[in-house]
Structure 1
Amino acid sequence: MTVKPYPLQFKPEMKERIWGGRALEGFGLELPEGSIGEGWMIGDHPNGTTKVMNGELAGKGLDEIREGYGREWFGTKGFSEINGRFPLLIKLLDCNDDLSVQVHPTDAYEGLPAGELGKTEMWYILDAKPGAKIIYGLKDGVDRAAMEAAIAEGRIMDTLQEVPVEAGDAFYIPAGTVHALCSGVVVAEIQQNSDTTYRLYDYDRPGLDGKLRELHVEDSLNVIAYEGAGAQRMKTDGAVAGQWLNIATSPYFVVEKGIVAAPWQLATSAESFVILVVADGEGRLKWADGEQPVKAGECFLLPATLGDYELSGGMTVLRSVVPA
């Protein structure tokens, strides 16, 4: 079946987490019961594959799209060279409580499960309560020996940097960076298509099953970039309407922030699909064969072959592509 390319919207895969809440309902998303910490908005992973909600391909999973249309629709750079899957995973996170102190491996780590990628990611803070903070990297001079000693002596928090956050902040988190989101933030996360997390510390709290969650101290110590991995943070309030502001660049994704205040003519390229995350506001997305309303909390996968499209209305949008 030949299908003309169009913006794909997916039914989110909701994940219950000990640290989650109900804040994603504020985007009009339908949540199951429980403490929902993650909405996997666009995913092609064994632990969560999203299905199309709109248009001719409604009901098909992103894995089926990849198999049927991927080489054309995803672009020449739109595949993981390691496992052939869609290379990115897009999430919305509701941090009603502190997440575990954690670190992610690179693609090269020998301890990765077969077929799994490393995990470099970025965060864009959608909302933050007064006084909200995150853990972001190690204090100066903390090496493996110092970290091991701190863990053994129950003072790991003394080795970590805490950073205050507010809506509009962006954080680039390369693999190897120790980090943790803390309570009171809602976040858009663009990351490699991976579900591998190594926990260093989890506040000695029980998980959803009432038991302490597993820690991965040895793997964590192995993959931490003690000299830094290139993590960067920025305020993004300098974004100008009708211009893209680069807020994260990695070998796996480039993320830009755009303010839509008037009709904005844009286009995809042959190298990569485009992912649009509507961070706030509302408007319209128009392309050659159709248009639809869009609003905060919605995410779209635009095929590389879509060509010209237009954004209009009053909204903030995050645009992600795979670098050429």
Structure 2
Amino acid sequence: MTQPYPLLFQPEFKERVWGGRALEQFGLQIPEGHIGEGWMIADHPNGTTSVINGELKGQGLDQVREQFGKEWFGAKGFSEKNGRFPLLIKLLDCNDDLSVQVHPTDDYEGLPKGELGKTEMWYVLDAKPDAKIIYGLKEGVTREVMKEALENGTVMDSLQEVSVEAGDTFYIPAGTVHALCAGVVVAEIQQNSDTTYRLYDYNRPGLDGKPRELHIEDSLNVIAYEGSGATTMKTAGSAAGEWLQLAKSPYFIVEKGIVDGSWSLSTTPDSFTILVVCDGSGSIAWDGGSQDYKAGQCFLLPANLGQYELKGNATVLRSYLP
């Protein structure tokens, strides 16, 4: 019988017109080209990660899920809509500006069959001086104002720009207009969805030299014009050995912790735990083994792992289901 242990996966890398080579700073072996996304823990038709450590090495997350069910993934550990793993964990390298975009809610009737909506959060791992993002609408922007701005090519005048630095957190509920801009590297925790509606893309060509598709009608339909509940916080200077809550949504809770020495923790039967190592290194110890960790790695801890200990010096994000 396979005993639960922290699972580490081979990332699925995605080339994007806005990507670069920054994920190499984590020691990741990335393919040639403009690599914008590392799907670190994924169970989606467009990318499924496979285990690279321990007894289950070589198995896809979908196979592990089907084999071990609620015992490993927790009572809440499955999407009710499609039975898959409910979250998608990514590292993003924004070497150039991303398109201005918005994501739908679970109940949007235009969603592809079996696809979820997309509420997400970002934790900024690295940011160049003067880096910024687009985050929400300016006051008083209605559907009519947005439609007119798109027709006139003045959409940027309707959007809020925010300066960012490492350690900043942004919670992005479905319906929030947003775009990461050049010079930031982020960890993204999101619903397990690959549905994005592009509102504006700076009139630039895609990787194939042709303009990328825009989704104007869908975007206008799903924007939360009255506000989506988006929140942001700066997290520099948080104390070691305490969890700081960064985001709480119906789909995930994300907390930041500083490991300094040794920290005893535990999983709960309700939910798996995901650990994203933002910086530093050390080891995870549990009843039955130990596993080294380093910056850029993302671990899936089964719900039935129980007691575990984080050792070393590191900043980690902990995510689980509410």
TM interval, shorter chain, is over 0.9
| Mapping 1:191-270, distance limit 5 Å | 191-270=190-269
Q: Which residue does the alignment assign to 2:280?
A: 281
What letter is aligned with 1:207?
A: G
1:11 alignment counterpart: 10
Secondary structure in structure 2 of the residue aligned to 1:261: strand
Which residue in the other structure is 1:159 paired with?
158
Counterpart of 1:100, as a letter, is S
Structure 2: segments with no counterpart, 5+ residues: none
Stretch of structure 1 that moved more, 271-280 or 283-292: 283-292
Q: Percent identity?
A: 74
CA contact under 8 A between 1:106 and 1:118: conserved in structure 2? yes
**1:132 counterpart letter in structure 2:** A
Counterpart residue identity of residue 66, structure 1? R
> What is the identity, as a one-letter code, of the residue corresponding to 1:167?
A
Measure how far apart 1:72 and its partner are.
1.1
Task: Check if 1:43 corresponds to 2:20.
Answer: no
1:128 aligns with 2:127: yes
Contiguous gaps of at least 5 residues in structure 1: none
The equivalent residue for 1:174 is 173
Q: Which amino acid aligns with 1:280?
A: D
Provide the residue aligned with 1:312 in structure 2: 311
Say whether the 8 Å CA contact 1:107–1:118 is kept in structure 2. yes
1:20 is aligned to: 19
Q: 8 Å contact 1:129–1:185 — kept in the other structure? A: yes
Tell me by how many angstroms 1:193 deviates.
0.1
Q: Secondary structure at the match of 1:9?
A: strand
Q: Give the corresponding residue for 1:88.
A: 87
Structure 1 residue ranges, 4+ long, deviating more than 3 angstroms after superposition: none
Deviation at 1:70, TM superposition (A): 2.2
How far apart, in 2, do the equivalents of 1:256 and 1:317 lie? 8
User: What do residues 41-72 of structure 1 show as CA deviations (whole Å, max 9, x unaligned)?
Assistant: 00000000000000000000000011101221
Displacement of 1:262: 1.9
Amino acid paired to 1:76? A
> 1:112 corresponds to which letter in structure 2?
L
Distance in structure 1 (CA, Å) of the matches to 2:183 and 2:100: 16
Partner of 1:75: 74
Equivalents in 1 of 2:144, 2:198: separation in Å?
18
- Quote the residue 1:34 is aligned against: 33
Residue 60 of structure 2 aligns with which residue?
61
Distance 1:45 1:11 in 2: 14
2: CA distance, partners of 1:254 / 1:115: 23
1:238 Cα shift? 4.1
Deviations 1:283-306 (A, max 9, x none): 111111111211100000000000
Q: 1:127 aligns to what SS in structure 2?
A: strand
- Letter aligned with residue 305 of structure 2: L
Equivalents in 1 of 2:196, 2:69: separation in Å?
A: 27
Distance 2:216 2:70 in 1: 39
Distance across 1 between alignment mates of 2:257 and 2:57: 28
1:184 maps to 183
Counterpart contact for 1:121–1:173, Cα < 8 Å: yes
Tell me what 1:321 maps to.
Answer: 320
Q: Secondary structure at the match of 2:188?
A: strand
For residues 65 and 284 of structure 2, the distance between their equivalents in structure 1, rounded to whole angstroms, comes to 23
Rounded Cα–Cα distance in structure 2 between residues aligned with 1:305 and 1:205: 48
SS at match of 1:71: helix
SS at match of 2:261: coil
Tell me, in whole angstroms, the C-alpha distance in 2 between the residues paired with 1:203 and 1:17.
Answer: 15
Q: Is the 8 A contact 1:242 1:262 kept in 2?
A: no
Paired positions, count: 322
- Tell me, what secondary structure is at the counterpart of 1:151? helix
CA distance in 2, matches of 1:172, 1:238: 20
Query: Equivalent residue of 2:169, what SS?
Result: strand
What is the SS of the residue equivalent to 2:129?
Answer: coil
Distance 1:271 1:141 in 2: 42
Once the two structures are superposed, what CA deviation does each residue of 1:5-44 show, in whole Å capped at 9, x if it has no partner? 0000000000000000000000000000000000000000
Describe the SS at the equivalent of 1:293.
Answer: strand
What per-residue deviation string (whole Å, max 9, x for no partner) do you get for residues 228-256 of structure 1?
11000000124210000000000000000
